[in-house]
Amino acid sequence: MEFEPVIGLEVHAQLLTRSKIFCGCSTQYGAPPNSSTCPVCLGLPGALPVLNREAIGMAIKAALSLGCRINTDSIFARKNYFYPDLPKGYQISQYDRPLAQAGKVDVLVGYREEGGRVQKYENKSFRIHRLHLEEDAGKSLHSPGGDSLVDLNRTGVPLVEIVTEADFRSPDEAYDFLVLLRRTLLFLGVCDGNMEQGSLRCDANVSVRPIGASTFGTKTEVKNLNSFRFVRKALEYEIERQIDLIKRGGKVEQETRQWDEALEKTTVMRSKEEAHDYRYFPEPDLLPVRVEESWLEQIRSTMPELPEPRRRRLQEEYDLDIESSLALIQSRSFADYFESAAQISRQPQAVYNWMVGDLTRELKRDGRDISDCPVSPEHLAELIQMLDAGQISSKMAKDVFAKMYSDGSSPRKIVEAEGMAQISDADQLARIIDTVLEAHPDKVDAYREGKHGLIGFFVGQVMRETKGQANPQVVNQLLEERLQPVE
């Protein structure tokens, strides 16, 4: 019997507000433990929450980007459970009346073979069940000696939880959806997408069923996957584990599991909770949230072009392949840089090659973002134009680029100041070539007798005489003319 996986995702994304969702404490990451707290986020008696309007606006942006219907009225609820990093003994979340529902996202999925190479691309649509707001919990820190400490700085940081339908049928589909979701949140400027710091986290619900079956199998939930690589590996392992268990006559138990990277397997955390275990009831200290149409239209007017529509436009307008267009939408600023340089130079492929090559290498080395790049799009376009016009060689262009990156100068000024202009004048190069040939009559005779590999020797001599500034194409052409046998 053949099986297929059924996967649904729950993604938590911290919103980029400066203050927490129900109080004025800072959301800045890395503050000293328990320093960004107050009576509200500590859950002290008598403290009352006050809703952060900016968090609602950011959540609406995220919901609109996912094609969701924004509910006119939504309410907050108390989700009751006990954990050391949850000081109130409950989490303020949304339950039966969330902010947004019924969305859909179009994703370009790359189906990969063993080794990660993409075999084919296919456009797929995945449904969003709901998007709701809630507060984050604190963080428990466990020492090797067995001690546990609690840092409540994260308590009350605004989150959106994005819950998909169980529409994914492979780890590749889930992976590419998550990559696009992260890019979308970055384009919107509502989440920094930093999975290592926990500002973007994913839980995956996984089950398997016989191919052709209409009912779902028993699912397990894999919690707190904080990298896309872990998502893929955890899904692949859990799918195989469940299929093997069923084929051996066993039964999948509904439970919560975690990915153990050291063991490269999922392990049991606890039995899976149901909604009734949390004893949800409406939050009595917060009024319902009402989203007026005028505010909704105002938010819509500020929405940027989203990653997938932009990818399709870049591919079509600049005649790029799929891989190139995907690389360009890694961030909004990266795509903006490309378009600025491509429109000036009118050589999009050359711009792309420089960006994913030399420019990205230098930025990674320095830990910089493209928005902090010392080489402006205008200067990169100018460098490409100079190279295309034969004013500098490819080797010179590399040297000029290095100077551009170090001090932000324009390539033309660098070339003029360093005397690096390429020599392309045929008469000037012909005189130098004649001098070289006269100095090596034996090698000229050998070339004319059939040793054509000596052309490289002559090119090298000319480049030495011109200190590397001769145009190699012109040099080769002139040498071939002058080295023809004498009639």
Residue 486 has pLDDT above 70, yes or no: no
For the stretch 404-460, pLDDT in tens is 998 888 888 888 777 666 666 677 677 777 787 878 877 777 777 777 777 778 777
CA-to-CA distance for 160 and 215, rounded, in angstroms?
A: 29
Q: Output the pLDDT for position 422.
A: 61
For the stretch 186-198, pLDDT in tens is 999 999 988 888 8
Output the CA–CA distances (angstroms, integers) from residue 223 to 121, 157, 174, 202, 272, in the order listed: 29, 19, 15, 7, 11
For the stretch 224-240, pLDDT in tens is 788 888 888 999 999 99
Output the CA–CA distances (angstroms, integers) from residue 213 to 31, 136, 217, in the order listed: 51, 38, 9
Phi, psi angles (nearest 5°) of residue 366: -95, 0
Q: Output the pLDDT for position 136.
A: 93
What are the beta bridge partners of residue 255? Answer: 271
Both structure tokens of 354: 């420089």
Both structure tokens of 382: 């100018």
Instruction: Name the range with the highest mean pLDDT among 28-42, 265-279, 385-399, 470-484.
Output: 28-42
CA-to-CA distance for 60 and 450, rounded, in angstroms?
A: 75
List of domains in the chain? 3-295 (no CATH), 305-407 (no CATH), 426-482 (1.10.10.410)
pTM: 0.83
Closest C-alpha among 386, 381, 465, 398 to residue 422: 386
CB 64 within 8 A of CB 101: no
Exposure string for 436-465, b = 16+ CB within 10 A, e = fewer: bbeeeeebbeebeeeeeebeeebbebbbeb
Alpha carbon 180 to its chain's center: 8
Alpha carbon 282 to its chain's center: 37
Both structure tokens of 471: 């145009």
Q: What residues contact residue 51 under an 8 Å CB cut-off, 6+ apart?
A: 21, 22, 286, 289
Q: Output the pLDDT for position 426.
A: 72
